[in-house]
Amino acid sequence: MHELEEKLRTRRARVGIVGMGYVGLPLAVEFAKAGFSVTGIDNNQDKVNRVNAGDSYIGDIPSSTLRPLVESGKLRATCDFSALLELDTVNICVPTPLRKTKDPDMSFIVASCQEIATYLHPGMLVILESTTYPGTTYELVLPMLAKPGLEVGRDFYLCFSPERVDPGNPVYQTVNIPKVVGGCTAECTRMGELFYSQALEHVVPVSSTQVAEMVKLLENTFRMINIGLANEMAMMCANMGIDVWEVIDAAATKPFGFMPFYPGPGLGGHCIPIDPFYLSWKSKQSGIEARFIELAGQINGQMPHFAVDRVRDALNSAGKAVKGSRIHIMGVAYKRDIDDLRESPALDVILLLRRLGATITYTDPHVPVLHLDGLDLESSPEDAASAADCVVIVTNHSSFDYKALVERSRLIVDTRNALKGMHSEKIVRL
């Protein structure tokens, strides 16, 4: 039995997580709960200090869960990459944004791999979790980790395992979301599967890192394209005077051959607005044009503008212009019941309305302050909606009192169908 295998089975392996954000911290917590000694590594000193104080900054990880793990010595954080010398495994959970040109920004992965290469030692398991284009692990990461005398699959192990975190999901979290893993060799895959199976409920091994990389892109491209179709239907239905939400609900009664997706003011979060363009970029390198992806991206990118058009039309019908109107935004996080602002369509809606001359206020119990392009706002109580000329529901948080909102508001544009079942002349739906 390999020494690493024995350490994993007895949970004596020392686990490292590079990047302590929405992916890294929950993963670190699960392995610490499983009995492993876990070290989180992050360049952000504030995150490191908060982890070491047992103070969680991730909504899905209560401080009451984090603190006992820190106090027991099972979980700690540091900014010092030399900690890798003492670790047996390391998961790379760093951001992978897109550049303005829609091509992948690999700088965070490269910087992490440079540090790991410095401290790589025999028997180490390295797993990339950051979403990226197919081929990254084998073509970019492996050459960076290669050292004379160290052979992948024999002396160290390298895998890719796509993160599937869904912030705010009360049912599916890190521990029970099936974990796909593929290695550079069959032995790498075996080690990756063994590693995850010690802390997570279900592991799905695949034949290569490329397959594992493509899995995540397929998942999010599937959602992005189908949401694009729902958004295009919403625009068409609005022009025809048809309630798109009623159409979707009726279509969803078909027990086969249809899966409901819903329109909205735009795509948010780190994954769906971004990941498909990794696939599009890579396919272009192979001489294939990803037309579905590009078209869906264009349609989804129009939705904040379409939402603002609905606001403008609603105000016009009430005899008002956007310029000079007071517009109150309900919800600015990218999805309900979380505090995550990454790629939130609310930010685009706010900026577009502001450029048209509107005065903006907002309510979001999860986002107390908002700093956006020179605009500094604080979340107002829900009753602030009564002073607005128009209220726009952008994020449908479950804590909002929608019945009271309708009663106190003069005009409401509902981009999320949060007011389903309510009927009033003051309600305008997407």
Q: Would you please indicate which residues are annotated as catalytic (active-site) residues?
A: 271
Residues 261 and 225: beta-carbon distance below 8 Å: no
Sequence length of the chain is 430
- Rounded to 5 degrees, φ, ψ at 205 are -75, 140
| Residue 333 buriedness (CB in 10 A; 0-12 / 13-18 / 19+) | buried
3-state secondary structure of 292: helix
DSSP 98: B
DSSP 3-state of 55: coil
How far is Cα 324 from Cα 426, in angstroms, rounded to an integer?
20
Q: Following DSSP, what letter does each residue of 130-160 receive, concatenated?
A: S---TTHIIIIIHHHH-BTTB-BTTTBEEEE
CA 148 to chain centre: 38
C-alpha to C-alpha distance for 206 and 215, rounded to whole angstroms: 10
> Exposed, middle or buried by CB within 10 Å (0-12, 13-18, 19+), for 100?
exposed
Q: At a CB cut-off of 8 Å and minimum separation 6, what does 313 contact?
A: 428
Our separate counts of H helices and E strands in the chain read 14, 15
Segment holding 377, helix H or strand E: strand 375-378
Q: Which two tokens stand for residue 204?
A: 């799905």
**E strands, 106-220, where?**
125-128, 157-160, 179-183, 203-206
DSSP 176: T
- DSSP code, position 177: S
Q: Sign of dihedral through CA atoms 354, 359, 365, 371? A: positive
